[in-house]
């Protein structure tokens, strides 16, 4: 079973055909929630905020759904685990995903962010918090769309924004979505010392409430995969610095 709630005035930027310009279109949200008692008030509230909402109740429907601008994903679905659904969506799309769930332990949050979820809300939550998170995520998406450089080249490090492909010293580097976002952020200002707080606010979330150790874990993983421990330096008491590698 699925339902659709129509049109709104909220808009997102999409690239215009051919000329690189932006055009405004109505924002479409895919709500993946099997509990009608939870879904219907969310749909009504989002409709009052003038969002265009499509509602599905299973993971299979979510994976098969037409493209949307944002996904609100419950974890407790009847057919597939929400983490698996998030991973499947992320394999084929960079659509922002906000997980909405009753689970609250930190392991779930970190795992979902690693799978590519952009934010995480624990039930019960206020509707104003939900819409604030939607706006924050879409602002980050708009910033990515407006990024002027399609590729970062720093010595032997190459990052392709369009394909999310990373090469270093002639090797293809396989990264998780969050590892990729972290590397892109550090590489955006090579040589600069960036504080831990700024990295967590930008790469994870401006309202990040999880352990800051997740940053250290991701830095360690990047160093291991890049096989160059000196590429990303720790500045004790401050944060991290990406050193431009030799060609």
Domain with residue 221: its CATH number is 1.10.10.10
Cα–Cα distances in angstroms (integers) from residue 202 to residues 33, 73, 205, 207, 223, in the given order: 28, 22, 6, 10, 20
Per the CB < 8 A criterion, the answer to whether 72 and 30 are in contact is yes
What distance in Å separates the CA atoms of residue 109 and residue 121, rounded to the nearest whole number?
9
Q: Which domain holds residue 193?
A: 151-242
Q: Is the dihedral of CA 214, 90, 44, 2 positive or negative?
A: negative
- Res 143: pLDDT: 63
- Res 103: pLDDT: 67
- Residue 130: CB atoms within 10 A of its CB come to 19
pLDDT along the chain (247 residues), means of 10: 44 42 66 94 91 95 92 92 88 85 64 76 86 85 60 90 89 90 89 87 66 83 91 92 84
Q: What CATH number should be reported for the domain holding residue 119? A: 3.40.50.2300
Domain boundary among 145, 174, 196: 145
Token couple for 220: 């360690």
- Res 108: pLDDT: 60
Is there a single domain that holds both residue 126 and residue 157? no
- Residue 69 in any domain: the answer is yes
Is there a single domain that holds both residue 30 and residue 71? yes
- Res 140: pLDDT: 74
- Res 5: pLDDT: 44
175-202 exposure pattern, b = at least 16 Cβ within 10 A, e = fewer: bbbbbbbbbbbbbeeeeeebebeebbeb
Q: What are phi and psi of 129, to 5 degrees?
A: -65, -40
- pTM as predicted: 0.58
- Res 246: pLDDT: 74
Beta bridge partners of 25: 12
Is there a single domain that holds both residue 198 and residue 82? no
Is there a single domain that holds both residue 93 and residue 34? yes
The residue to which tokens 């990373």 are assigned: 166
Is there a single domain that holds both residue 129 and residue 217? no
- Residue 247 in any domain: the answer is no
β-pairing verdict for 52-56 and 70-74: unpaired
- Res 146: pLDDT: 54
Is there a single domain that holds both residue 118 and residue 181? no
Is there a single domain that holds both residue 162 and residue 135? no
Is there a single domain that holds both residue 124 and residue 210? no
- Res 24: pLDDT: 45
């Amino acid at each position: 079973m699925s339902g659709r709630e129509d049109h709104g005035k909220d808009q997102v930027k999409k690239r215009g055909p051919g000329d690189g310009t932006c055009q405004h279109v109505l924002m479409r949200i895919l709500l993946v929630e099997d509990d009608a008692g939870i879904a219907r008030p969310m749909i009504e509230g989002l409709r009052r905020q003038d969002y265009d909402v499509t509602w599905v109740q299973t993971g299979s429907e979510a994976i098969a759904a037409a493209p949307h601008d944002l996904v609100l994903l419950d974890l407790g679905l009847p057919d597939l685990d929400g983490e698996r659904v998030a991973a499947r969506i992320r394999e084929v799309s960079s659509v922002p995903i906000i997980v909405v769930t009753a689970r609250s332990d930190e392991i779930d949050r970190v795992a979902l962010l690693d799978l590519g979820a952009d934010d995480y809300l624990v039930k019960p939550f206020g509707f104003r918090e939900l819409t604030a998170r939607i706006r924050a995520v879409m602002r980050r998406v708009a910033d990515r769309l407006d990024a002027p450089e399609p590729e970062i080249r720093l010595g032997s490090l190459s990052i392709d924004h369009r394909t999310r492909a990373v090469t270093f010293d002639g090797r293809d580097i396989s990264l998780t979505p969050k590892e990729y976002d972290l590397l892109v952020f550090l590489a955006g200002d090579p040589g600069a010392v960036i504080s831990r707080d700024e990295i967590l606010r930008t790469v994870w979330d401006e309202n990040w409430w999880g352990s800051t150790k997740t940053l250290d874990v991701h830095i360690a993983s990047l160093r291991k995969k890049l096989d160059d421990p000196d590429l990303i330096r720790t500045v004790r008491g401050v944060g991290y610095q990406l050193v431009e590698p030799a060609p």
